[in-house]
Chains A and B, each alone.
Chain A
C-alpha cells in the first residue's frame, strides 16, 4: 500500500479511537475505559513542569490494564466525592510515522468539570503524549502520558482524563 495512504488510514484510526474514548469517559460510566489500552499498557497523569524536569511520579501511575480497571472499580465502589463529571474537548491528533505496528501521537485537550452544586468550570488543559499499536482496523493505546499545563489541581482528580 502507498505509504501516504497507510499514514492517512492510521491517522483516521487514531481519530476514531479518540472519539470513542471521549464518548466512553464523558458519557459512559468509564468501565470500558481500559479496553482502549493494550494489556501491558502504561498510563500516567503529570504536569508540564514535572514532565520538563523528567520527574517520574504521577498523580496517577498505572502500568497494566488491570490497574486501569482497578482505578475505575475504586472510583465507583470505594472512593467518596461529590457527584461530578468531566467534559473533554480533544484536538486533532498529531500523528508521527508508523514504526512497525506502533506510532506516536499527540493531542491537546481541555476538560471542563461539572459539580453537583457548582457551575461548569474549566478544570484542566494539557496534551496527551501517546503511543498507539495498530492491529487490524483498531488503534489501541500502548502508553498515554497526560501532561497537564498547570501544576495546580482543583480539589481532587477522580475519573480519567
Chain B
C-alpha cells in the first residue's frame, strides 16, 4: 500500500447540490484543476477570443496569441480567409512565430527550417532527401501526417474566436441570441481600429477575474470614483442577461428617461436647494465628455463570453479583454482599446480621455487589478471552505436587477458542466 501519497493528491468532491452558489476555494488553487481546464475548457468545446479581424488586414498578416496556456498563430491567407493553428513546429515543437505580429509568406522554424503554410500545413523540410544520397527522411514519410493542431475559426462582427474542438456548437448558438444581439449593438457593420494594447499581470487565478467581470453587485461598492465625485447624476436602470448555458452574460445600465422626466418636473423645487454632499469635485470634467454613439440610452455594457472574453462599452470607451491563465496563481489580462475608422478627431479624443477610466491604471478598473490577489491571499489555508454566491437567490436567471450574483452562478454552472466537476 502506498501511504506516501502527498496530502490532497486526489481532487476533492464539489457537492452537486452546491450548483454555482457555493464555490470551494480549491478550484482556484489546484494544479490538477488547471490541467483539466486546459484540456476540457480551453481545448474543449468552447469558443476562445483570439484577436480582432482588424489586426489581420492583408494576406500574410499574423498575430501570435494564446488559447488558455496554448500558443496559437492566427493568420490571413491569400484566399482572404482567417486560419488558426498551434504555434508549434511539426518537427520538435519549437515556437514557429517569434514575434507578436507581422506579415510573412510562411512560417519556417528557426531550429531546422521546417516550413509551414499560412494555414498551418507542413509544406517543406530542410534536407528532406538528404545530401548526395545520404541522410534525409524515410521515403514513406508523409508531410500531411504531422503538423500543429488547427482551430475552427469564427468571426463575430470582427471579433475572431477559435476552438480546438470541431464539434463545438456554432458560435451563434453558443452565445445565444440575446448576447449576440448585444455584440451586434456595439460592433455590427463597423470597421474597428486598435488604439492601444496593454497586458495586465494579475496575481490571482484567472477565474477570480472572470467572476469579477460578471459581478454587477460589487461595481458601486468597490469602485468609488463615480460616487466620490458625484458623477452619476442621471437616474439609471439596467439589468442582466445570462446565456442559456450560463457562461456568457451581459450586464448593462441605461439612463432612465421616465425618472429623468419626473426629475425635470420637480427641478423648480429642487433647484432651490442643490448642494453637493461632498466637496470633492473634478477640476476638468472633459474627462467624461461623451458623444451619442448608439441608438439607445445604454451608457455601460459589460459582456462576457465563456470562458475568458470581455467586450466593454463604458460610455464611448470600447475595449476587449482576454483572460489568460498563467499557472494557478497568475493570469494575464490583455486589453485592446478600440476606436472606429469613421471616428472624427473629437470623437477619437473623447475615447482617449474616457480610457482613463479603464485598464491597469483606470479610475474605475484599477481596483479589479488587486481584488483577485486579496482573495488568493485571503483563502490560503481555506481550500475546503467556499465562497457564498447567494445574492439575488440561487438561480442563474437574468433580470432587471443588478444587485445579484446570477451571472457568476451562471459561469459556474457552465464551468461544472464542461469540466465534469
Contact = CB atoms under 8 A, between A and B. Distances in A.
A137 interface: no
B196 to A, nearest CB: 3
Contacts of B91: none
Contacts of A80: 222-224, 367, 370
A152 B355 CA distance: 17
Given A50-B196, A78-B224, A153-B200, A59 B361 contact: yes
A155 B370 contact: yes
B283 interface: yes
A67 B284 contact: yes
Contacts of B223: 80
Contacts of B373: 155
B360 A61 contact: no
Interface in A113-139: 117
Given A59-B198, A78-B228, A153-B199, A73 B280 contact: yes
Interface string B318-359: 000000000000001000010000000000100111011001
Given A78-B228, A80-B222, A157-B361, A69 B197 contact: no
Interface string B372-394: 01100100000000000000000
B202 interface: yes
B168 interface: no
A66 B284 contact: yes
B284 A156 contact: no
> Size band of the A side of the interface?
35 or more
Nearest to B226: A78
Contacts of A59: 198, 359-361
B366 interface: yes
A158 B361 contact: yes
A16 interface: no
B282 interface: yes
The residue among B194, B195, B198, B287 with the most chain A CB atoms within 10 A of its own CB is B198
A81 B367 contact: yes
Nearest to B355: A57
A141 to B, nearest CB: 17
B369 A156 contact: yes
Nearest to B337: A57
Q: Size class of B's contact patch?
A: 35 or more
Nearest to A70: B282
A47 interface: yes
B225 interface: yes
B196 A55 contact: yes
B22 to A, nearest CB: 27
A82 B348 CA distance: 33
Contacts of B348: 56
Contact of A60 (B194, B203, B361): B361
A101 interface: no
Given A56-B348, A79-B367, A74 B228 contact: yes
A73 B377 CA distance: 29
A105 to B, nearest CB: 24
Contacts of B374: 82
Contact of A55 (B194, B202, B360): B194
Contacts of B222: 80
A123 to B, nearest CB: 11
B409 to A, nearest CB: 25
A77 interface: yes
A151 to B, nearest CB: 5
A82 B359 CA distance: 17
Interface string B32-51: 00000000000000000000
B83 to A, nearest CB: 24
A61 B284 contact: no
Interface of A: 45-47, 49-50, 55-64, 66-67, 69-71, 73-74, 77-82, 117, 151-158
Given A67-B284, A152-B332, 19 more contacts: A56-B348, A57-B351, A57-B355, A60-B361, A61-B352, A61-B356, A63-B353, A66-B284, A67-B283, A67-B286, A78-B224, A79-B225, A81-B370, A152-B199, A152-B200, A153-B201, A154-B200, A154-B201, A155-B203
6 contacts: A55-B195, A74-B229, A81-B370, A151-B197, A154-B200, A156-B369
Interface of B: 100, 194-203, 222-225, 228-229, 280, 282-284, 286-287, 332, 337, 348, 351-353, 355-356, 359-361, 363, 366-367, 369-370, 373-374, 377
